[in-house]
Structures are given as C-alpha cells and as structure tokens.
Amino acid sequence: MDKILSQEEVDSLLEGIEKGEVSTEEKKEEKREDIIVYDFRGEDTPSEVKLPGIIRINERFIMTLRSSLLNILRKDIDITLEKIRSMNFSDFSKYIPLPSSLNIFKINPLGGSGLLVLEGNLTFIFIDIFFGGRGISHVKLEGRSFTPIEMKVIKKISKVMLENYESAWSEIYNVHLEYTGSEMDPQFVSIASPKERIIVSEFTIYVEGTNGNLFICFPHSILDPIMDKLKMRKAEAPTDNNCRKVLEEILKDIELDLVCILGNNTLSANELINLKIGDTIPINTKVKFPLIITVEGIPKFKGFPGSLNGRKAIKIAELL
C-alpha cells in the first residue's frame, strides 16, 4: 500500500513548490489539428445540381429550342432534361460518347468557356434531315469523321442552340455566348483543368421516333459572382395565365408555310414522260370558285388570286 503523506509533509511540499525548491511538470497543451475547410466542389464523384436558377434556365431553353428546331428541320421535335450534375472535367471527357461534335463557346462577361456536345447519332440525324432525308441515320459511327459540308450544318445548328441558351439566361443574368470552334476528340478541348468541377446539363432530343443526347457544360467557378442569383427561387409561382402568355409570345415567332393550291389533276406515267414545254395541263378548279389555302398542310382559308403592288397575292374570302 502506498505511503500516505502526513499533514506536516503535505505542508512542507506545498511550501517547497511555492519557493521553487520543488520542480513540477508543466501542463502540456493539447495539440489541435488544423481544421481543413471541405470544398464540396472538390468531390471526385458526380453529384446532382439543384440550383433553382440553372433549372429555370434549362426549362426555358427546352421551350425555345423546340420551336427553333421545328422551324429548321420541319419535323416533330421533343426535348427532355435528363439530369444536371457536377463532376470533374476529366470524368466528363471520359463520359462523352464517341464520336461526338464538341462545340466550344465563350461565356461573356462571366469569363471562361463552355462546351456544347452533340452526340454522334443525333448529329447525323440532323444532317440527314437537313439534306432532305427522314432523319434515319445509317452511318457507321465508329471511326467516322465529319466532312466540311457536314461541319457547316453542325455549326449552323450549334449556333441556333447557343442563341436559344443565351436567351434562356436573360431571366437570370445577361450573357453573350460566342461560338469559337469545334472538335471531335475530347483531348483537344480544354475548358477546365482535369480536376476542376464543371456543371453538366444533359438533354435528350427526340426526332421522328429517333433520339440522341445533347450536353451543355461550363466550369462551376464562373458562377461564383452570380451564385446568389442562381440560388434564388422564383418569387412568383407560374400560373396557367402566365404560362399561356409565355407560350403565346414564343408561338408568335414561329414561321409557318402558307400554300395556295391552284388545282390538281391526275396523269398517267406515260403522259408524264411525254410532257414538253408548251403543253397545257388542265386542272379541276373553275375560275369563279375560291382556292384552298393551307397552313402547314392543313386547310385553313379560301380565297381568290390577284395581285398587290406588282406581286402575286390572294385575298382571304372565307375561314375554314
């Protein structure tokens, strides 16, 4: 059993400590490891982005792009937003399906560049329709590159998409998207460092029963100056009346084909082959009867032909 100090010994020990005759062990301060600030944007795994501003931009982009592609391609178009993710640029480069058209654009005045990626299958669908096809691509994608003519078509469609995306941003912040070039190999595209986080919006575009993917991405860092705007939720929830007004404004800009049908007739193959300059083909329309006017192939009006200011014209006589 340990020896218990007497009161006299305790007093002597305390006196020695006070006079410095007895040394004591200094209390060691507990070492605290430095606190490391965790940056969620530095994660290596992809994560979902839920910024209300980015979601609204993409929703508006879908509405306007559908109308623009309808005007260009004259085909039924549907577009859906699949996901919005944050990931490393190197991971996205590996995720891009090959071949694809990688279209680079500058983002002013935020600085930096973005990427508009058209999946190979979608690209060749657009090209086929643009040259009069039905939008069915029979091209073998592996190892396939784009011809100079195809590149011009891709550039035109990419610029239309960027114009719509720029317009979709106007509700949040005025940006100008400038097309700067196109590549097919991701290793020649550098809008961010390999480990830098980028925001990727993935869309699926459906055209006449076929579909392909569209990606729009840009560095997360360029959003820092306007992050407060992107985090804000829309103050006023959209009502049916508001949605109707927005749709009406979009529909007013759609170009429609207006066709006046003078008449028709049926010829045999032999009669068609033997037609020559100067021949007259009778039609089944009488002069005193009004002509049918169609809008996108649908009969909408009846009218009488004439002229106005030196140009052929037709006067609307009846609504169908």
Over residues 150-167, mean pLDDT: 93
Out of 30-39, 170-179, 293-302, pick the least confident: 30-39
pLDDT at position 291: 85
Look at residues 202, 227, 252 and tell me which one is the last residue of a structural domain.
252
Residues facing residue 197 across a β-bridge: 88
Task: Indicate if 143 and 52 belong to the same structural domain.
Answer: yes
Report whether 116 contacts 106 (CB < 8 A): no
C-alpha dist (Å) from residue 220 to 103, 155, 166, 226, 311: 18, 25, 17, 11, 55
pLDDT at position 155: 92
Over residues 301-306, mean pLDDT: 87
Out of 64-68, 204-208, 283-287, pick the least confident: 283-287
- Whether residue 27 is predicted with pLDDT greater than 80 in this model: the reply is no
Report whether 128 contacts 157 (CB < 8 A): no
- Whether residue 1 is predicted with pLDDT greater than 50 in this model: the reply is no
Instruction: Report the CATH number that the domain containing residue 76 is assigned in CATH.
Output: 3.40.1550.10
- Whether residue 59 is predicted with pLDDT greater than 60 in this model: the reply is yes
Report whether 64 contacts 164 (CB < 8 A): yes
Percent of the chain at pLDDT > 90 equals: 28
Instruction: Report the CATH number that the domain containing residue 283 is assigned in CATH.
Output: 2.30.330.10
Task: Indicate if 65 and 207 belong to the same structural domain.
Answer: yes
C-alpha dist (Å) from residue 178 to 18, 53, 115, 164, 309: 79, 21, 11, 12, 41
Question: What mean pLDDT is reported for the chain?
Answer: 82
| Alpha helix stretches (DSSP H) within the chain | 7-19, 52-73, 89-95, 120-130, 148-169, 227-231, 240-252, 269-273
d(CA 284, CA 10): 130
Task: Indicate if 298 and 169 belong to the same structural domain.
Answer: no
- Whether residue 188 is predicted with pLDDT greater than 90 in this model: the reply is no
d(CA 181, CA 228): 31
Task: Indicate if 304 and 184 belong to the same structural domain.
Answer: no
- With 0-12 / 13-18 / 19 or more C-beta atoms within 10 angstroms meaning exposed / middle / buried, residue 65 is buried
Better-predicted residue by pLDDT, 138 or 178: 178
Task: Indicate if 192 and 237 belong to the same structural domain.
Answer: yes
pLDDT at position 237: 42
Render the burial of 148-167: b for 16+ CB within 10 Å, e for the rest.
eebeebbeebbbebbebbbb
Q: Is residue 297 part of a domain?
A: yes
Q: Residue 109: which residues within 8 A CB-CB, separation 6 or more?
A: 175, 176
pLDDT at position 139: 61
Percent of the chain at pLDDT > 70 equals: 82
- Whether residue 186 is predicted with pLDDT greater than 50 in this model: the reply is yes
Task: Indicate if 51 and 108 belong to the same structural domain.
Answer: yes
pLDDT at position 34: 60
Task: Indicate if 168 and 296 belong to the same structural domain.
Answer: no
Better-predicted residue by pLDDT, 266 or 107: 107
Q: How many domains does the chain have?
A: 2
Report whether 81 contacts 172 (CB < 8 A): no
- Residue 271 has phi, psi (to 5 degrees) of -65, -40
Look at strands 176-183 and 311-319 and give their pairing.
unpaired
Q: Is residue 212 part of a domain?
A: yes
Better-predicted residue by pLDDT, 296 or 179: 179
Report whether 81 contacts 59 (CB < 8 A): yes
Closest by CA position to 177, among listed 188, 165, 186: 165
d(CA 54, CA 81): 12
Out of 62-66, 105-109, 294-298, pick the least confident: 294-298
Provide the pLDDT confidence category of residue 312 given band limits of 50, 70 and 90.
confident
Look at residues 252, 283, 301 and tell me which one is the last residue of a structural domain.
252
Quote the domain boundaries for residue 266. Answer: 258-319
pLDDT at position 238: 47
Report whether 89 contacts 198 (CB < 8 A): yes
d(CA 77, CA 201): 19
d(CA 94, CA 194): 11
- Whether residue 115 is predicted with pLDDT greater than 50 in this model: the reply is yes
Look at residues 252, 282, 309 and tell me which one is the last residue of a structural domain.
252
pLDDT at position 167: 92
Over residues 212-229, mean pLDDT: 92
pLDDT at position 236: 45
Q: Is residue 36 part of a domain?
A: no
> Which tokens is 203 given?
């869309």
Task: Indicate if 267 and 246 belong to the same structural domain.
Answer: no
